[in-house]
Structure 1
Amino acid sequence: HDWQAELYGAISHTNRILHNLAVDIWMYISRGVFAQEPVKGATGSSTMPHKVNPIRFENAEANLELSCSLLDTLATTLVESRWQRDLTDSTTQRNIGSALGYSLLALNNLLGGLQAIHPNTHAMAAELDGNWEVLGEPIQTAMRAEELAGRPGMDHPYEQVKALMRGHAISQRDVERFIDSLPFDEQTARRLKELTPDSYVGLAAQLVDYTTR
């Protein structure tokens, strides 16, 4: 039964990746990053009629857990045999259909759930605009380049940015003042000030296009 153990282990591994996706999407929905499309006539909650429950992702999560439990048991027990006279496999193999069925049911729920959500761009934009500390990375990088070029006042970039940003909220104005307080050349300072948490994405767009070809 070695081939079965290998197969069920691979499916269980895939299930766990999908389980992580279902949990993450559920949490994104709870934070408003993703919005669900309401189904006409569906009951969202017994006490909150406005609510749209992420039921498909919850169903996927539960069914993936059941599938993994059975598949892990199969992968473990089917390779064990007491003196080559162990017939417990005749019982455990009766659960193969259930194990794969739970996985298939989870896939159907997950696909249906993904088709019924969309990004809440307003919530995403508001969250980004409230987290200007994201720009600590490019500012540090620019400071290190200036330090290597021998420009004074650019030493200890990590510590300087940490003093500005750690432990409290900062605004766009705070970031601009910090940039102005450092001896950047005019072009670098202007380029840094043009960055926003929303626009600082590096090569992300190109990488997504490349990996989805």
Structure 2
Amino acid sequence: MPQKVNPIHFENAEGNLGLANAMLGFFSAKLPVSRLQRDLSDSTVERNFGVALGHGLAAYRSVLDGLSRAAVDEAAAGAELELHPEVLAEGIQTILRREGETGPYELLSKFTRGREITSAALGEFIDGLKLKPAVKAELKRLSPLNYTGLSKKLAEKKES
């Protein structure tokens, strides 16, 4: 199909990782077990460590190459996000907790489960909460496009 663009770099990576994992799995099963004191098959197996690691390296390079060619359609992603205001339930729950509301998880769970959530329905839900007007305004300013929670901190977190 000429119109189709294959993710060739990711497919190559998948194949190379499959080979590397199969070889490394074989090594881990073979090398700890010696049949005889002079079992020389280990040296034959050990000569192939580089082959397995080479396939792994080729796979990771293919992944990086594929990622460097990938692009996000920000307009399409934003439009898709706007269709799912239910992603704000976590942020709303967090703000309700901060404000001392009892049972915010249960409240949001009851509101969101088993139904399609619209921005209008979410606005009505917020209006029905017994909160200060400033907090309601804060909740209404949340949008799927601007709410990220802790994702930025988690993504940037360095291992210590």
Q: Which amino acid aligns with 1:167?
A: G
- Deviation string for 1:6-32 (max 9, x for gaps)? xxxxxxxxxxxxxxxxxxxxxxxxxxx
Structure 1 partner of 2:51: 98
**How much has 1:170 moved relative to structure 2?**
1.1
Structure 2 partner of 1:158: 105
Residues 107 and 188 of structure 1: is their aligned pair in 2 closer, same or farther, counting only changes over 3 Å?
same
C-alpha distance in structure 1 between counterparts of 2:60 and 2:126, whole Å = 49
Could you tell me which runs of 5 or more consecutive residues in structure 2 were left unpaired when the two chains were aligned. Answer: none
Percentage of matched positions with identical amino acids: 42
Q: Which amino acid aligns with 1:110?
A: V
Could you tell me which runs of 5 or more consecutive residues in structure 1 were left unpaired when the two chains were aligned. Answer: 1-46, 149-153
Structure 1 partner of 2:129: 182
**How much has 1:119 moved relative to structure 2?**
1.5
Residue number among 110, 129, 148 corresponding to 1:201 in the alignment: 148
**How much has 1:76 moved relative to structure 2?**
2.8
**Cα RMSD for the two superposed structures:** 2.1
Residues 80 and 108 of structure 1: is their aligned pair in 2 closer, same or farther, counting only changes over 3 Å?
same
* TM-score normalised by L of structure 2: 0.85
Q: Which amino acid aligns with 2:115?
A: H
Q: Secondary structure at the match of 1:118?
A: coil
Residues 63 and 134 of structure 1: is their aligned pair in 2 closer, same or farther, counting only changes over 3 Å?
same
Report how many aligned residue pairs link the two structures: 158
* TM-score normalised by L of structure 1: 0.66
**How much has 1:197 moved relative to structure 2?**
1.1
Residue number among 64, 82, 96 corresponding to 2:35 in the alignment: 82
Structure 1 partner of 2:98: 145
Q: Which amino acid aligns with 1:190?
A: A
* More RCO (CA 8 Å, sep 6+): 2
Residue number among 47, 62, 74 corresponding to 1:121 in the alignment: 74
C-alpha distance in structure 1 between counterparts of 2:18 and 2:29, whole Å = 17
Structure 1 partner of 2:62: 109
C-alpha distance in structure 2 between counterparts of 1:206 and 1:123, whole Å = 25
Residues 69 and 126 of structure 1: is their aligned pair in 2 closer, same or farther, counting only changes over 3 Å?
same
Structure 1 ranges of 4+ moved more than 6 A: none
Q: Is 115-124 or 199-208 further displaced after alignment? A: 199-208
